[in-house]
Amino acid sequence: MQVLEVPTPVLGCGMILVRNYFSLISAGTESSTVNAARKSLIGKAKERPQQVKQVLDVLVQQGPVQTYRAVMKKLDAWSPLGYSCAGEVISVASDISDFSIGDFVACGGLTAAHAEVVAVPVNLCVKLDIREKINVKGERLKNIDEHLKAAAFNTLGAIAMQGVRQADLRLGESCAVIGLGLIGQLSALLLMAGGIRVIGIDVDEQVVHIAGQHCADLAIARDTAGIDEQVASFTGGLGADAVIITAGTDSLDPVNFAGQICRKKGKVVIVGNVPTGFDRDPYYYRKELDLRMSCSYGPGRYDSAYEEKGMDYPAAYVRWTEKRNMEAFQELIHSGKIKLDYLTTHEFNLEEAPQAYDIILQKKEHYLGILIRYDTQKPIESGRVKIRPSDAAGKVGIAFIGAGSYAQSHLLPNLHKSKDVSLIGVMTSSGTSSRSVTERFGFEFCTSDVKDILGESRKEGLDSRLRGNANIKGSNSKGINTVFIATRHDSHAGYVLKALETGKHVFVEKPLCLTEDELESIRFAYQNNAQHLMVGFNRRFSPLTVMLKEKFGDGPMSMICRVNAGKIPQDSWIQDMATGGGRIIGEACHFIDLLTFINGSLPISVYAQALPDPHHLNDTITVTLTYSNGSIGTISYFSNGPKSLPKEYIEIYSAGSAGIIRDFKEIEITGAQKTIRKKLWSQDKGQKRMVQSFIEAILQGGTTPIAFDDIYMVTLTTFKILESLRTGQSVKI
């Protein structure tokens, strides 16, 4: 655990940038994360058997090298802690109207981390009804900070509120809260504010005593003799109308004890991390108890449309969303109906934060709410963080915009610093991921400002481009002349255009863009800039593909490509047409390019059919292509097959010969006289050779490894496939 300087986060659409004043440590969740991080590899494996299985699956499919990279990109990455904070808005995205610079807000979610500055989606932050007050000496009045300390409990308060809502209690009823840690205490406070009689239960006598003073009508230690009789007496022999479990334990005792003290036909609500394998008899069965799970902050949680895109649910149909729960919690604080002062047991400056976790993990002393305090007088630094001294500039100065899983597994490991190649800058949306990649792969700096990577194109140059003038150049940015773009698909076109306008060589991970208008803009920019532009169509660089191409040459051939693509969930960003473009644009382009390369000519028409799908994902399709040299090809891209079947299978037929590639591990070429077979030690889809070829083309001044005509026509074909699916007709390209 370290306190690190990282770039400020990138302010994306639908987000606000917040300068934190306070953030709250969630002792249960965060201590679990830290404990797991400190364990050995064997300890981690025991805690996460499902991830171990995934590693073994990758090992079988892709071999040891890719498996090692996949594991290490997780183990070597910095991971921020925290998800509940409060502070002041310092910037808002252009599409945000509900917040203004200077507003005080409370924030939740994984982006609401322990950091001086956080970028938070609009549906995960709420405006606070407080005003900044300054005394005659220009100092902030203390009560503003006190408001913000309470507001920092925001996320845990929303979690507690959702649990209370799931209990669905009425005025005058009773509720037992099992587990009197922070969320248990907050749950009890909310219940009392709603006129519910509260029974607080915990194994720790100290928190029981605290609850008895502040938030419980009856507070009892779990090991108290006759505890069930005390609950029965308190409830007039009826039993608790509901039981909310906020404990965190591997024991079955909380859920079984809840069944014991709950009244007949009552409700048991699980908020904490406890096992649910309860004893059916005698309590749950004979009492017909209702066991409910409470999902985090409330409706909207884990819905990317709500959390990331800011799409709200209509209040008439979903009265309490996670944001409305946060707003209700903050209103209770503001009105004084609940008082949280007693919950804050410790405060630490950011630099002292590791000491706070020592208290939690080593249980050195009693704690409940632990706040991290930030220096709000400190100037906010720029988004750039220097990691190592600059080297002498090489002929190729490389920067990355985006560096996610694919880039870390297949692009970055194949770049090697030398006297001719300099690794300079990294920009990702997350400051921690930027720093992780920069350190791991030896770049000079990480940043959150795209100008540090691309510089600024001159306004006159941009105006000239819009007027159609050629030979527009921009200045290189600090030795960077080559940019790798590996962001989400919807940002590819914008970054490609900016990079071309500023005179950079561009490697962009597929797809090149998401619309025909973007494609035409890129074509125009490329034709007016003498730079390399390459898309990550790697399969044409596989040694097996090259071998097949050499044996068959160019000429009319018939081709079959079967892709056992597997399911991607409907709510994945890849399936979102606005963000990922769907799987035809985002993934099937690989196989269009592969067949285009093998037969040596460009596609001229396409016809596509999709398996009926209620979600209209179009990810189980058959595509028929015709090419200018007379070749024909079929791509069967299926998402409904078994994982046990190899993913990719290619067959080529021409002039009495046939070639087969199996998952880019094996090749078989059969002619009239003999059969040639070759098997690789591990799968090779050509990523290494692709990256090397691109760098060599820049160093040697050669042609781009993939001709722009190929890139253009392959990308255009993906759009025509969608047109064919809409019209049911063959479409000319």
Confidence grade of residue 284 (pLDDT, cut at 50, 70, 90)? very high
In Å, how far from its chain's centre is CA 52? 21
Task: Give the residue-averaged pLDDT of 608-628.
Answer: 94
Claim to verify: residue 139 and residue 209 sit in the same structural domain? no
User: Can you give the pLDDT at residue 78?
Assistant: 87
Between CA 414 and CA 684 the distance in angstroms is 13
Q: Give yes or no for residue 194 having a pLDDT over 60.
A: yes
Confidence grade of residue 459 (pLDDT, cut at 50, 70, 90)? very low
> 312 is written with which tokens?
């709200």
User: Can you give the pLDDT at residue 60?
Assistant: 73
User: Can you give the pLDDT at residue 465?
Assistant: 38
User: Can you give the pLDDT at residue 616?
Assistant: 87
The answer to whether residue 329 sits within a structural domain is no
The answer to whether residue 61 sits within a structural domain is no
> 526 is written with which tokens?
């490329």
Q: Which helix (H) or strand (E) holds 304?
A: helix 304-307
Least confident segment among 246-260, 335-349, 466-480: 466-480
Name residue, tokens 């149909």.
317
656, 476, 441, 654: which is closest to 552 by C-alpha? 654
Look up residue 90 and give its DSSP letter.
E
Q: What are phi and psi of 36, to 5 degrees?
A: -65, -40
pLDDT, tens digit (0-9, with 9 covering 90-100), for 542-567 = 999 999 999 998 889 999 999 999 99
Encoded amino acid at 261, one letter: I
> 692 is written with which tokens?
């090397």
Q: Give yes or no for residue 140 having a pLDDT over 70.
A: no
User: Can you give the pLDDT at residue 77?
Assistant: 78
pLDDT, tens digit (0-9, with 9 covering 90-100), for 73-94 = 677 778 899 999 999 999 999 9
The answer to whether residue 663 sits within a structural domain is yes
User: Can you give the pLDDT at residue 457?
Assistant: 60
563, 582, 564: which is closest to 572 by C-alpha? 582
Higher pLDDT, residue 33 or 431: 431
Q: Give yes or no for residue 207 having a pLDDT over 80.
A: yes
Claim to verify: residue 679 and residue 567 sit in the same structural domain? yes
CA triple 41-43-44, angle to 5 deg:
65
Confidence grade of residue 660 (pLDDT, cut at 50, 70, 90)? very high
pLDDT, tens digit (0-9, with 9 covering 90-100), for 295-314 = 999 999 999 889 988 999 99
Confidence grade of residue 44 (pLDDT, cut at 50, 70, 90)? confident
Claim to verify: residue 201 and residue 114 sit in the same structural domain? no
Q: Which domain, by its residues, includes 202?
A: 156-294
CATH of the domain at 665: 3.30.360.10
Higher pLDDT, residue 572 or 625: 625
Confidence grade of residue 31 (pLDDT, cut at 50, 70, 90)? confident
The answer to whether residue 301 sits within a structural domain is no
> 558 is written with which tokens?
């018939």
Claim to verify: residue 400 and residue 365 sit in the same structural domain? no
The answer to whether residue 312 sits within a structural domain is no
Task: Say whether pTM exceeds 0.85.
Answer: yes
Claim to verify: residue 348 and residue 217 sit in the same structural domain? no
Higher pLDDT, residue 394 or 463: 394
Number of domains in the chain: 4
Q: What are phi and psi of 48, to 5 degrees?
A: -130, 65
Least confident segment among 466-480, 498-512, 636-650: 466-480
> ω before 569 within 30° of 0 (cis)?
no
Higher pLDDT, residue 474 or 103: 103
Q: Give yes or no for residue 364 having a pLDDT over 90.
A: no
Higher pLDDT, residue 374 or 682: 374
Confidence grade of residue 467 (pLDDT, cut at 50, 70, 90)? very low
Claim to verify: residue 727 and residue 579 sit in the same structural domain? yes
User: Can you give the pLDDT at residue 464?
Assistant: 38
| Crossing angle for the helix pair 322-335 and 142-151, to the nearest 10 degrees | 140
Least confident segment among 53-67, 220-234, 421-435, 542-556: 53-67
Q: What are phi and psi of 408, to 5 degrees?
A: -75, -25
pLDDT, tens digit (0-9, with 9 covering 90-100), for 477-521 = 679 999 999 999 999 999 999 999 999 999 999 999 999 999 999
Residues 653, 557: contact at Cβ < 8 Å?
A: yes
71, 123, 497, 529: which is closest to 308 by C-alpha? 123
Between CA 111 and CA 280 the distance in angstroms is 40
Residues 206, 233: contact at Cβ < 8 Å?
A: no
Burial class (CB in 10 A: 0-12, 13-18, 19+), 662: middle
Largest CA distance in the chain: 97
CA triple 65-69-74, angle to 5 deg:
155
Q: What is the mean pLDDT of the chain?
A: 91
Between CA 298 and CA 308 the distance in angstroms is 15
Task: Give the residue-averaged pLDDT of 36-43.
Answer: 74
The answer to whether residue 2 sits within a structural domain is no
Claim to verify: residue 222 and residue 356 sit in the same structural domain? no
Claim to verify: residue 493 and residue 642 sit in the same structural domain? no
Q: Give yes or no for residue 139 having a pLDDT over 80.
A: no
Claim to verify: residue 629 and residue 689 sit in the same structural domain? yes
Please compute, for residue 533, the number of CA atoms within 13 A of its CA located in the half-sphere on the CB side.
30
The arrangement of strands across the sheet holding 290-293 comes to 218-221, 197-202, 174-178, 240-245, 262-270, 290-293
Encoded amino acid at 219, one letter: A
Confidence grade of residue 142 (pLDDT, cut at 50, 70, 90)? low
CATH of the domain at 143: 3.90.180.10
Q: Give yes or no for residue 535 having a pLDDT over 50.
A: yes
Confidence grade of residue 138 (pLDDT, cut at 50, 70, 90)? low
pLDDT, tens digit (0-9, with 9 covering 90-100), for 411-440 = 999 998 889 999 999 999 888 999 999 999
Claim to verify: residue 644 and residue 621 sit in the same structural domain? yes
Claim to verify: residue 564 and residue 681 sit in the same structural domain? yes
Percent of the chain with pLDDT over 90: 76
pLDDT, tens digit (0-9, with 9 covering 90-100), for 377-410 = 888 877 789 999 988 888 999 999 999 989 999 9
pLDDT, tens digit (0-9, with 9 covering 90-100), for 569-592 = 998 999 999 999 999 999 999 999
Claim to verify: residue 510 and residue 406 sit in the same structural domain? yes
CB neighbour list of residue 38: distance below 8 Å, 6 or more residues apart: none
User: Can you give the pLDDT at residue 132?
Assistant: 61
Q: Give yes or no for residue 642 having a pLDDT over 70.
A: yes
The answer to whether residue 255 sits within a structural domain is yes
The answer to whether residue 269 sits within a structural domain is yes
Helices H / strands E in the chain, number of each: 24, 29
CATH of the domain at 440: 3.40.50.720
Q: What is the CA radius of gyration of the chain?
A: 30
